[in-house]
Amino acid sequence: METTRLSSKGQIILPKSIRSAHQWEPGVEFQVEDTADGVLLRPVKAFKQTSLEEVIGCTGYKGPSKSVEDMEAAIAAGVKANHGRP
């Protein structure tokens, strides 16, 4: 078990072995929870967890499936229409 010390600014340095094991880089944010045994740190996830059903409606397309070629052709047509280039 490694130890660390609280600085005069209230900062604690997490040992490198722990940061590396969790792949925590500078700037990672943590939720801080006070527990009966001490303090618990949980890294904040970048996005809240969602299900496919929660986000699939944002696509707005209701029709037959499109192929990659169809989608690429539509993108090219949109670029040409909006920017006058292929």
pTM equals 0.50
How many Cα atoms within 13 Å fall on the side-chain side of residue 54? 4
Q: What mean pLDDT comes out for the span 12-16?
A: 94
Average pLDDT over residues 45-58: 76
pLDDT band at 84 (very low <50, low <70, confident <90, very high): confident
pLDDT digits (tens, 9 = 90+) for 64-78: 888 899 989 999 998
Specify burial of residue 63 (Cβ count, 10 A radius: 0-12, 13-18, 19+). exposed
